[in-house]
Chain A
Amino acid sequence: MQDNKTLESPPEIQFAGVSRWLKENLFSSLSSSILSLLSVAAVVSIFRAIIGFFISPEREWTAVTYNLQLYMVQAYPESDFIRVWITVGLLISLLGLSWGFNSLKEKVVIKEWCDGLLKGISSFLFIILIAPTNVDVEGTSVEVFKNNTRYICLAVGIGLIFAVYLLRKTSPKTEIIRDRISFLYLSLLVGSIWIIKVPTVTFTSSNERVDPDPFLPLANTTTIPWTIIFGCMIFAYLIGTFLKAKGKNSMSRLILSSWVLAPLVIVSWIYRKPDFGMSNILTLDIPIAVAFSVLGILAIRTLNKEKIVPYQRYITYGMLALTVVIFFLPVLRQLKILFFITWLLVSVAPTIANSKESAKNLSIVWSVTVFILILLMRGASSESLIVVPGSSIYGGFTLTWLIAFFGIAISFPFGVILALGRTSKLPVIRIMCTAVIELVRSVPFITWLFFGSVMLTLFLPKGVEFDEVLRAIVVTAIFSSAYLAENVRGGLQSISNGQFEAADAVGLSTLQRITLIIMPQALRAVIPPIVSQVISLFKDTSLVAIVGLFDLLYIGSKVIPNQSQGANFLGTIQENILFCAIFYWIFTYSFARRSMKIEKRLGLGER
């Protein structure tokens, strides 16, 4: 009997069931009926007001559409836009590649998909149904939504519902790969920027605004680049799935390194258009890189020689002393950094490169790193050929993204180190880390931004100058690491003593214990707070406006509403602020959704 029961599937909610559901949940008694009706009325009137606000003729949405370029890249010169498109294309292709490579090829049954669609279409119908016909503009009622349009929309909506319902009925059990649905939506989006036409601000040859605004495709000048980029993404996705199918697991490491490398290449070479000078690379960089990679390979080879082993420690200390000395000498910045990573190499090589094969791998990694690093530094330290009068070359969403991304990326290793330091048994380290965390946390972010902007120069040695954007990134990273450290520390505390003991008992070293056993569990345990932290950091980047940077929100709240040349958008603050809000929401919400999925996937290993 028990077995029979488990085979039975749960009863389906039919249309007859809907009225029952309504009855049970909304109209079970007189008071609850009144309450339900009242709240429905409230919801409808609120939505009507909001929709009316959006479609009122008073709203000048062209203030947003006309300024999209300003929003995205601020005053980046149009002649070099190809660099922006390469940046976007590179990142989106990389996204497609990792998507394809990591895809679980999850399947959805048509029935579920249709249920989701039905929900979406019904919300659309609801909005169409309740949208106001007239709105009040300065005392007079103006028609904004013709009833004819409403009927057409309703008819289309109902037709769609019918079509989806039919699909659901005919083949409810058929499965589709979820990625394909996503691509369907994306291609609808890309298609819509070709098809949908909106009023667009245009000017005659004598620089006068055409009135009324002609209808042009949504993305107007950017349809072709977006379409090409979408193509690249699909292509990258297919390559990703292909590599996965071939079982090239070493590729995952390569993809991960490209994620690390791509932003660095973008900021040093692509976006800022460095005036590098080929002769510098040939006569200076290449020889230095060759010298250091030879040096490193020699170190890897010799450090594990029987005779050298007792002196390993002294070599590491010697190298550290040398690095410190070099740091204070007036030599090329490149050399300082190379000496620093050589010290790192010397200190880890004995443990990592303990077999012939791993020594060989480490040598390859080392040489590649040295070459990439020196080229990146060449790009970053050369004069930029992009000139943006009065501000940084980064502005608008680019700036928001840049500060958020690098702020978070840099804060991760530092946050983890600070957390480990704070839980360390060595008092000096523990006190230092605690002091740093508490100091950083107890002063407002804005104060730190000011500090970075005005006071940091007083503390740095003469001649060392930081770009304003770099300063903002450094401050953001430091601020974020303190919070991250506390989150990670929470994760560390949640791990039972038994895990440490088991790791010790099987003979893992301290470093292995932390990286293989403790950290993976600690980080997993604190994904939710870390996600909140990342989200709030992303939004907090809007504070950098205070030190004179033009971020997305500053452009929306201050720059555009004060525009009076060409198109006049004076006072269009409501539209622009709303746009910014929606823009932030799209990014943070999709990030939150994404991380929820990841959490679920990782949750498999939990108790």
Chain B
Amino acid sequence: MSIIKSVDVKKWYGDFQALKGISMDVAEGEVLVIAGPSGSGKSTFIRCINRLEQHQDGQIFVDGIELTNDLKNIEAIRSEVGMVFQSFNLFPHLTVLQNITLAPIWVRKKSKTEAEEKAMELLERVGIPEQAEKFPGQLSGGQQQRVAIARALAMEPKIMLFDEPTSALDPEMIKEVLDVMKELAKSGMTMIVVTHEMGFAKEVADRVMLFDDGQLVEENTPDEFFNNPKSDRTKLFLSQIL
């Protein structure tokens, strides 16, 4: 039973075609890693999944609901899909705690105390409960990204999307974020992770995909992907980054 399904998704920016027909599906609880060179359409594709971008052709279904321009559908899907950005995008004018409780209070209509309890639980889970009252600007990059993960989790999503979550981090902070993500993967969350961290892919991914030039060129188990890739493009890609 697939929780995300895309059928021949195409997307243009002006005349430039960023996605040239992507068809794939993700099962519930699966961890999917998307790799590929810069500009190959990885971000564009996962941003289509929660409608930060609109695809122009093909279909995307999330949890059985098709993504259309219907506002009700979009809102329903956005509260089921959490997203973590490369540049964190925390709200700088709110404290860490307020960042996390904002959406549960205003979108899920939770009470403040309930939302704060849950937020503290999540901060505990990502390992920074002592930072709750600070502002994002007072935290390190790794800590900010963990807050961003907690913020997404606070909506209790069924699916988490990660767009290069460690690319903006200093090397010594990458591990702390990856550890949180690994823990999340083991807890059974459905995840799509765009990343260049091949170690992460080997360890926790159920499947790895390679994007190139707006196309899905390879889809494989991590074992096969790294040791016995089907396409030449993958071999080239692996030789460049490993």
Contacts and interface: CB of A to CB of B under 8 A. Distances in A.
B101 to A, nearest CB: 11
B100 to A, nearest CB: 10
B135 A604 contact: yes
B155 interface: yes
A605 B94 contact: yes
Contact of A506 (B102, B135, B137): B102
A506 B151 contact: yes
Interface in A568-607: 602, 604-607
B174 interface: no
Contacts of B152: 505-506
A502 B52 CA distance: 10
Determine which residue in A499, A502, A512, A606 has the highest number of CB atoms from chain B within 10 A of its CB, and name it.
A502
Interface string B73-95: 00100110111010101111111
Interface string A495-525: 0101101111111110010001100110010
Determine which residue in A502, A507, A512, A605 has the highest number of CB atoms from chain B within 10 A of its CB, and name it.
A507
Given A354-B109, A512-B106, A498 B89 contact: yes
A605 B155 contact: no
Contact of B85 (A498, A520, A602): A498
Nearest to A604: B135
Contacts of B75: 507, 509
Contacts of B109: 354-355
A276 B76 CA distance: 53
Given A505-B52, A506-B78, A607 B85 contact: no
B107 interface: yes
Contacts of A509: 75, 107
A607 B92 contact: yes
Interface residues of B, number: 28
Contacts of A502: 85, 89-91
A605 B93 contact: yes
Nearest to A521: B93
A504 B161 CA distance: 14
A497 to B, nearest CB: 9
A593 to B, nearest CB: 23
B165 interface: no
Interface residues of A, number: 25
Contacts of B83: 505
A56 to B, nearest CB: 54
A506 B107 contact: yes
A508 B107 CA distance: 6
B145 interface: no
A103 to B, nearest CB: 20
Determine which residue in A506, A516, A517 has the highest number of CB atoms from chain B within 10 A of its CB, and name it.
A506
Interface string B118-155: 00000000000000000111000000000000011001
Nearest to B161: A505
Nearest to A607: B137
B103 interface: yes
Contacts of B93: 520-521, 524, 602, 605-606
B50 interface: yes
B94 A506 contact: no
A521 B85 contact: no
Interface in A454-502: 496, 498-499, 501-502
B239 to A, nearest CB: 33
Nearest to B84: A505
B97 to A, nearest CB: 13
A492 to B, nearest CB: 14
Contacts of A355: 109
A139 B89 CA distance: 74
A505 to B, nearest CB: 4
Interface in A507-564: 507-509, 512, 516-517, 520-521, 524
Contacts of B102: 506, 508, 516
Nearest to B92: A607
Contacts of B79: 507
B87 A507 contact: no
A202 B209 CA distance: 95
Given A499-B89, A502-B90, A524-B93, A507 B135 contact: no
Nearest to A505: B83
Contacts of A602: 93
A498 B136 contact: no
A258 B152 CA distance: 38
Contacts of B94: 605
A508 B92 contact: no
A607 B52 CA distance: 25
B151 to A, nearest CB: 7
A507 B91 contact: no
Contacts of B151: 506
A504 B52 CA distance: 7
A359 to B, nearest CB: 13
Contacts of B50: 504-505
Contacts of B91: 499, 502-503, 517, 521
Determine which residue in A496, A504, A509, A512 has the highest number of CB atoms from chain B within 10 A of its CB, and name it.
A504
B78 A505 contact: yes
A252 to B, nearest CB: 15
A506 B135 CA distance: 19
A606 B92 contact: yes
B118 to A, nearest CB: 14
Determine which residue in A504, A517, A520, A605 has the highest number of CB atoms from chain B within 10 A of its CB, and name it.
A605
Contacts of A504: 50, 52, 78
Interface string B38-53: 0000000000001010
B169 to A, nearest CB: 16
Contacts of A499: 89, 91
A605 B92 contact: yes
Contacts of B90: 502
A503 B137 CA distance: 18
Contacts of A604: 135
Given A505-B50, A505-B52, A520-B93, A606 B107 contact: no
Given A505-B82, A605-B137, 5 more contacts: A496-B89, A506-B82, A506-B151, A508-B106, A521-B93
Question: What are the 9 tightest A-B residue pairs by CB atom distance, in nearest-first order?
Answer: A502-B89, A506-B103, A498-B89, A507-B79, A505-B83, A507-B78, A605-B93, A607-B137, A507-B107
Interface of B: 50, 52, 75, 78-79, 81-83, 85, 87, 89-95, 102-103, 106-107, 109, 135-137, 151-152, 155
